[in-house]
Structures are given as C-alpha cells and as structure tokens.
A and B are shown apart, each in its own frame.
Chain A
Amino acid sequence: MAKVTIDGIDIEVPDGTTILQAARMIGPEVAPPTMCYHSKLKTSGGYCRTCLVEVTKGSEKDPRPMPKLVASCRTNVMDGMVVTNGLSEKVQDARAGVVEFLLLNHPLDCPICDQAGECHLQDLSYEHGNYNTRTDFERRTFEKIDIGDKIQLHMTRCILCYRCVKVAEQITDGRVHGVLNRGDLSEISTYIKEAIDNDFSGNMIDVCPVGALTDKTFRFKSRVWFTKPVDAHRDCDKCSGKVVLWYKGDDVLRVTGRKDQWGEVEEFICNTCRFDKKQTSDWTIEGVREISRHSVISANKYKRLVRPKRLTINDIKALPE
C-alpha cells in the first residue's frame, strides 16, 4: 500500500495505482480532468496532457519534487508522494494552455454538433479555458471520408485521443482504421475509404470524447438535453445488454452504453443492441438514469419536466415595475 496526498487530502491506495485513480478515489473535487484516458482501455492516456499534475514530493524514500508536471493517468503513486492539482498555479496555467491547444483547430460548430451537451471538450473549455481565442489563422480541415452507414466521422473535430483506435484494437477482431500521417496532419482514417463494420464498432462513438464519431442513426434528431435517458437491459448473446435508451416522447432515438461519473463507458455493448433495438418492447426498463457527470445534461431536468404555467393577466399585474 502507498500513502499519497492530493491537494492536501490523504488516501491509501494499493501499489501500482496511478495518481489519477487515487485522485478519483478521493473524489471529483481533486480529480484532474481527462480527455484521452479511459479506464476500460489498456494503454490509454498520456496524449492529451489535460491531467497534468505537480508532484511536489516524489516519495518518502526520495522526497525530491519531480522536475516537470506529470500525466497523472500514466504515473504511478509512490509511498509518501505529495501531489497538487487544483491548488497548483503551475498546473492550472499548463492546463489552460492544453485547452487552448486542443481548441486551436477545433471547429466552433457546437450548435450543429450532436455531441454538444455531453462533450468533454465543452466541459473542459468551460472549466479551464479562456473566453477569447488568440489565433486568427484558418482552422485545419480534413477531407470527409465515409466509414459506413452507422458511424459518422468528422475528422475536423477530432482531438486525437486514440481511444477509438484502442477500442478497435482491443475489443473488435479486425482493426481497419488507425491514425494516419504525422504531426498536426494526423488523422483518424481507414486510408482506403472502407466501412468500419464489425459487431462492436459502435463503441467508438461512446468512447469519443468529442463529436468526431457520432451515431448516424441519431444524426440531427435532437439535442441530447431534450432526450430522456433510461436504463434498460436485454438478453444478448454478444454483450452484457446493459444500455441507456435515450427517449424523446415515446420514441427511442438512440441507444448507448452506460457511462460512469467520469463519462467513461462501464460495459461495451454490441451493434445489435445499439443500432437494431430501438423499440421499447425490445428492452426491460430499469428506470430513469441519473447523469452524475458535470455537464449540460447533468441538470437532470427531465426528471421534473413540468410544463410552464401560462401567464394570466393577474400574474402580469403582479410583476414589479
């Protein structure tokens, strides 16, 4: 076991725990934000640099501070380690920089992006970014490629978190897409314009932190905050069958995997559950899902959706001048 202090709060964790995992055990108040790390995907993390933290004391044995900020998702704790996250000005400054870099070429198309409302980049920029942009260069765009009738790829929105590549590598049986080219020209692609088609490809949508991979069957159907998430399950021979149904009225507009409070998928689901089972009768309903992640949809308004009362002449008279 190792004792670690994060933003002044102590916790004891098993050896081999990362700083990020330890911080999450303490709670969201000290947990660094993440974009590329995903708890269910091996070797994820380290790329986006949003979870950088300052290690002010390396360990009991070697108390020297670490010379650079470290990616908390890929750095293991040591006994006696002292970490600062929210309390470190250096971290906040670097994080603001990372947000700016991530937004530098990201299109400002949130109003027409299906991910809006559950987008990690929106949350991140709201919490750690600046209001102004300091660039007036044309943003990077990519040629559109078609990867099939179920998944929409918008490369211009991609922040290169590599999560979808790891999904293809780790839970599907034939990766046909990857990261091509180099540097700021890197792009997610199949190179030969082939459809990504296998039983679990839909999970790429769920792990995408931005609107780069979205559900074609849900495209432009509704803003997510107007839909009502409901936990449901079914007997499935391919996956756990545990999903969230997103309702508008009586219609299931889309089906997704269940995400934890960090916005990371708990159990991956198959494409049959995701794309082919959009009738309430396909499912056993468990109940309304509480979205605990801090974002637009977490207001959970659907739970107390009351039609606004029509104003009467008396109400108007009562208004203060």
Chain B
Amino acid sequence: MQRKLLLEHIDVPGIQSYDVYRSKGGYASVEKALKTMTPDAVVEEVKKSGLRGRGGAGFPTGMKWSFLAKPEGVPRYLVCNADESEPGTFKDRYLMQHIPHLLIEGMITSSFALGAKTSYIYVRGEFFYIIRILEKAIAEAYKNGWLGKNIQGSGFDHDIYVHPGAGAYICGEETALLESLEGKRGNPRIKPPFPAVKGLYDCPTVVNNVETISAVVPIVNNGGEAYAAIGIGKSTGNKLISASGHIKKPGVYEIEMGLTVEEFIYSDALCGGILNDKKLKAVVAGGSSVPILPAELILKTASGEPRLMSYESLADGGFATGTMLGSGGFIVMDESASIVHNLYTFTRFYHHESCGQCSPCREGTSWMEKILHKILEGHGTISDIDLLWDIQRKIEGNTICPLGDAAAWPVASAIRHFRPEFEAYVNNPKQQLEVSYYDHCRNLASAEV
C-alpha cells in the first residue's frame, strides 16, 4: 500500500485538534514556505507537481495560479470551494471533519504563494457542523500565530473566514460561488472575464477545491517532483475517492492514481466487493455528472486494457465508451439496480438545482425529469426515449455554465449503454414497476436492517 499524503494521520486520536496535528508535523509547509521560499517558488513547486483541480474539472492547479492577475494596489483573494454537493461525493466533508487543520494549513501556504491577504472558505450550508469544526480550528491557528498579522515573524499577514452557503448545488460552480459569496443569488457569471482577472469583488481570485488546497501541503513539504513521481502519466499524486452505493465498504479512500478499477472495487482493503456478493452492473465513476458505464466498460476499456483510476484511463474512448474521473464520486450499482430510476434521481436533482438563468437548462432539466417520471410510471413510449436523447443534445454545450452539460451527460450515457432497459419500461411497464421501482429499494432496505 502506497503512502497516504492527506489521510496519513487521519486515525491518530485527537488529530482534529491543533496540538495533535502540530505534533504530527502540521504547519511545516507554512514554516517552510514563509521562511525559506518566495511566493513564486511555491507556485513553481505546484506547477512541477502536476496537481490538477480535484473538484471535478481537473484543470492544472499551477497553471490556474499562474493566470492570476497581479495589478498594483488591488487585493487578491483565495476562495476555497467547500460547497461539495455533487451526488456521490463526500471526500471534502471527510477531510474537513476529521483533519480540519490540513485545509487551514493549505489555505495559508497557498495564500502566501498567491499574495492573498484574505481568504474565504465557502462551505455548503448543510454542513453547519463542519463550519463549527473549521471555526474552532481557525481560532486555534490564530492563537498559535499561524494566522493574523506578521505570521511567524515573516511579515506575511493573512485572515481566513468561513462563509456558509444555504443550499444550492450551483454554488459549486466557481462564478456562482463568488456571486453567492457577494450576497447574491447563485447565478453563474458569463465568462470571460475569468475569476483570475475579475473574481471576488471584481478582484483577481483563485477558487480551488478543498482537496486541491490540502494537496498543496505535501507538495510544499516534499517538493513538487516527489508528488509528480506518484501516480501515472498526467494523473499525478493521490486522489480521494468517495465510494458509495452497492459496495461492502462505502467510504473515502485515498488511492494512488493508476490503481485498476477492478482492484478498487474488489480489494478487501478498499471497497471490498459488491454488497451481498451480487454482480456488478454499472458505475458512475466521478460524481453524478459523468457518464455512467456498464460493468464491462468500467473494468476494461473498449480496447480490452484494464481501466485505471486516473484522469486519462477513465476518459479513454471518449464519451462513446469512456467517462471521467470528475470529483471522484464513485457510485456502484449491482445487478438489481434500475438504471432508469437512478437516472430519474439524477435528473430530478439537476432540475431542482438549475439556477434558472438560461433557457436550455431551466426548461430542459425539468422536461427531462417529467419524461423520465412518465416512463417510470409506465406511461412512456419509445418516442419518449428518442425525445430524451434529443433534449439532452440540445442542452449540452448551449448553456452559460457546465450544469447544462452535467444534466445532459447522465441522460445521454444511460440511453447509450442501457437503451434496452428504457424500452423494457415502455414495453412491459408493469413488470419493471414491480421489480425495479418499488420492491427493489424495499428489498435492499430490509436486507440492511
């Protein structure tokens, strides 16, 4: 088993507290950066590390940082995106809950690199107990001289504030998050300008995910090259995977990128195989937005190579036969799961979370939900399946922000890989209704009890 970078001390009793975290080498990256490095040198290490945004898009973090505009006399901001709301994803919550100082440390080191005197952690509103934990950690960091004026005598000042969201998935989109942080509705902005030029309060801003900022800590401690040596190809380092659904051991796993999907699902040290030893049917590998893949395509690529847990391997074959690593929200479905009903929960989700600003997403997401509901209720027709396909096609790429794509891809992939199941709902609704819609979840729940 390879070395853990983020979760190394997760099981140490009391690691939530400053004293224990510090005794395990906590805040070393801040010391190192502030005392021995220039801000640009920190950016350089992050570039060398090959770290890619862990929120879902996978954009190289070092490059994002180097785009930050630095006009004289204008404040710059670092904003941590802790609005974790992508169905299937719960790794950021896990990090913040169990080892909150890691994020605080990453925030300070990253802010030093970016020249940000103030940073905000935008936490999704439902996580109020996490806010409580973070606020306590921040207070401890102030008390011990890691925040505030002239940190550790370096002359660098920094303040961190926690900002609560209030229930809106769309605020995970970085410009919607900034709008929300400014006290407005979470409507994504039209880009360009990008936040790196005009972000929070029209100032240059970097928005990074919790896991991304946390990863800066081991990168600065051990050097960018050491981080880049871990993983495979352009998927460097470790990744937190949130595993859920029909597996024996749901949870958050830190894996080295390049592990095979098969090992991830079936290894006893990881997911432990399929619940009740049933057969694997399908996997949504990177959070609800990414294409669903049937068992044969998630375990092996179309060309027969073993599929790996990495940005490139999961994307192998494009959307025809591949998917995306996304946020690492790994949802596993066994043979009894209804793909159509699962898709319905996704489309209902996107309908509920669409901000309503642009017409394809506002109208299209609700239309798709209604059609799927109609199919589930046994009133669907074959032409409804084609209509669903056409609607998602007309949403994809035509919206202001990626939520449109995120709503379209699950529909497209479910139809692409599981069309016969949709047809079965249409042709023999009664049987499908009995097996999949009601009894299925009932059986499961009683098995659990």
Are these two chains actual partners, yes or no?
A: yes
Give a binary string over B336-369; 1 marks a CB under 8 Å from any A CB, 0 the rest. Answer: 0000000000000001111111111011111100
Question: Judging by beta carbons under 8 Å apart, are A100 and B394 in contact?
Answer: yes
Give a binary string over A167-183; 1 marks a CB under 8 Å from any B CB, 0 the rest. Answer: 00000000000010111
Give a binary string over B279-292; 1 marks a CB under 8 Å from any A CB, 0 the rest. Answer: 00000000000000
**Nearest Cβ distance between residue B52 and chain A, in whole angstroms?**
19
Which residues from chain B contact A46 at a C-beta distance below 8 Å? 190, 358, 400
User: Closest residue to A100 on the B side, CB-wise?
Assistant: B394
Question: Judging by beta carbons under 8 Å apart, are A186 and B358 in contact?
Answer: no
Question: Judging by beta carbons under 8 Å apart, are B398 and A184 in contact?
Answer: no
Question: Judging by beta carbons under 8 Å apart, are B357 and A101 in contact?
Answer: no
Chain B CB within 8 A of A185 CB = yes
If A101-B363, A137-B370, A184-B351 touch, whether A49 touches B358 (CB-CB below 8 Å) is: yes
Which residues from chain A contact B441 at a C-beta distance below 8 Å? none
Which residues from chain B contact A100 at a C-beta distance below 8 Å? 394
B363 contact from A52, A94, A184, Cβ within 8 A: A184
A102 contact from B185, B363, B366, Cβ within 8 A: B363
User: Closest residue to B363 on the A side, CB-wise?
Assistant: A101
Which residues from chain A contact B427 at a C-beta distance below 8 Å? none
If A182-B355, A183-B351, A183-B352 touch, whether A98 touches B360 (CB-CB below 8 Å) is: yes
Question: Judging by beta carbons under 8 Å apart, are A183 and B355 in contact?
Answer: yes
Chain B CB within 8 A of A160 CB = yes
Question: Judging by beta carbons under 8 Å apart, are B399 and A49 in contact?
Answer: yes
Per the bound structure, the CA–CA distance linking A49 and B363 in Å amounts to 12
Which residues from chain A contact B400 at a C-beta distance below 8 Å? 46-47, 71
Which residues from chain A contact B190 at a C-beta distance below 8 Å? 46, 71, 74
**Nearest Cβ distance between residue A99 and chain B, in whole angstroms?**
9
Per the bound structure, the CA–CA distance linking A98 and B393 in Å amounts to 12
Question: Judging by beta carbons under 8 Å apart, are B397 and A69 in contact?
Answer: yes
- Quick one: which of B362-412 are within 8 Å of A by CB? 362-367, 370, 387, 393-395, 397-400
Per the bound structure, the CA–CA distance linking A181 and B399 in Å amounts to 19
Give a binary string over A68-92; 1 marks a CB under 8 Å from any B CB, 0 the rest. Answer: 1101001000000000000000000
**Nearest Cβ distance between residue A29 and chain B, in whole angstroms?**
23
Which residues from chain B contact A160 at a C-beta distance below 8 Å? 356-357, 359, 362
Max chain A CB contacts within 10 Å: which of B352, B354, B393, B394? Answer: B394
User: Closest residue to B405 on the A side, CB-wise?
Assistant: A68
Chain B CB within 8 A of A134 CB = yes
Chain A CB within 8 A of B168 CB = yes
Chain B CB within 8 A of A312 CB = no
Per the bound structure, the CA–CA distance linking A100 and B398 in Å amounts to 13
**Nearest Cβ distance between residue B423 and chain A, in whole angstroms?**
19
Question: Judging by beta carbons under 8 Å apart, are B360 and A47 in contact?
Answer: no
User: Closest residue to A104 on the B side, CB-wise?
Assistant: B363
Question: Judging by beta carbons under 8 Å apart, are B360 and A101 in contact?
Answer: yes
If A98-B398, A137-B370 touch, whether A182 touches B354 (CB-CB below 8 Å) is: yes
Chain B CB within 8 A of A135 CB = yes
What is the interface of chain B mostly: helix, strand, loop, or mixed? helix
Chain B CB within 8 A of A105 CB = yes
Chain B CB within 8 A of A155 CB = no
Which residues from chain A contact B365 at a C-beta distance below 8 Å? 183-184
Which residues from chain A contact B185 at a C-beta distance below 8 Å? 179, 182
Per the bound structure, the CA–CA distance linking A46 and B358 in Å amounts to 8
Per the bound structure, the CA–CA distance linking A48 and B357 in Å amounts to 8
Question: Judging by beta carbons under 8 Å apart, are B358 and A184 in contact?
Answer: no
B398 contact from A52, A74, A105, A182, Cβ within 8 A: A52
Which residues from chain B contact A67 at a C-beta distance below 8 Å? 397
If A97-B398, A183-B355 touch, whether A134 touches B360 (CB-CB below 8 Å) is: no
**Nearest Cβ distance between residue B376 and chain A, in whole angstroms?**
15
**Nearest Cβ distance between residue A164 and chain B, in whole angstroms?**
15
Question: Judging by beta carbons under 8 Å apart, are B397 and A47 in contact?
Answer: no
Question: Judging by beta carbons under 8 Å apart, are B359 and A159 in contact?
Answer: yes
A68 contact from B355, B363, B387, B397, Cβ within 8 A: B397
Per the bound structure, the CA–CA distance linking A104 and B391 in Å amounts to 12
Which residues from chain A contact B356 at a C-beta distance below 8 Å? 160, 179, 181-186
Which residues from chain A contact B395 at a C-beta distance below 8 Å? 97
Per the bound structure, the CA–CA distance linking A109 and B305 in Å amounts to 58
Max chain B CB contacts within 10 Å: which of A47, A179, A181? Answer: A47
Per the bound structure, the CA–CA distance linking A74 and B359 in Å amounts to 16
User: Closest residue to B186 on the A side, CB-wise?
Assistant: A182
Question: Judging by beta carbons under 8 Å apart, are B362 and A183 in contact?
Answer: yes
User: Closest residue to B391 on the A side, CB-wise?
Assistant: A97
Question: Judging by beta carbons under 8 Å apart, are B398 and A48 in contact?
Answer: no
If A69-B397, A182-B168 touch, whether A48 touches B358 (CB-CB below 8 Å) is: yes
Per the bound structure, the CA–CA distance linking A100 and B395 in Å amounts to 11
User: Closest residue to B386 on the A side, CB-wise?
Assistant: A134
Query: Nearest 7 pairs between A and B by C-beta?
Result: A97-B394, A186-B356, A101-B363, A183-B354, A183-B356, A184-B366, A46-B190
Q: A46-B358, A49-B360, A134-B387 given; name 6 further pairs at CB < 8 Å.
A: A47-B359, A49-B398, A101-B362, A181-B356, A183-B366, A185-B356
Could you show 15 A-B contacts with beta carbons less than 8 Å apart? A46-B190, A49-B359, A52-B398, A69-B398, A97-B394, A98-B359, A98-B360, A101-B362, A183-B353, A183-B354, A183-B362, A183-B365, A183-B366, A184-B354, A184-B363
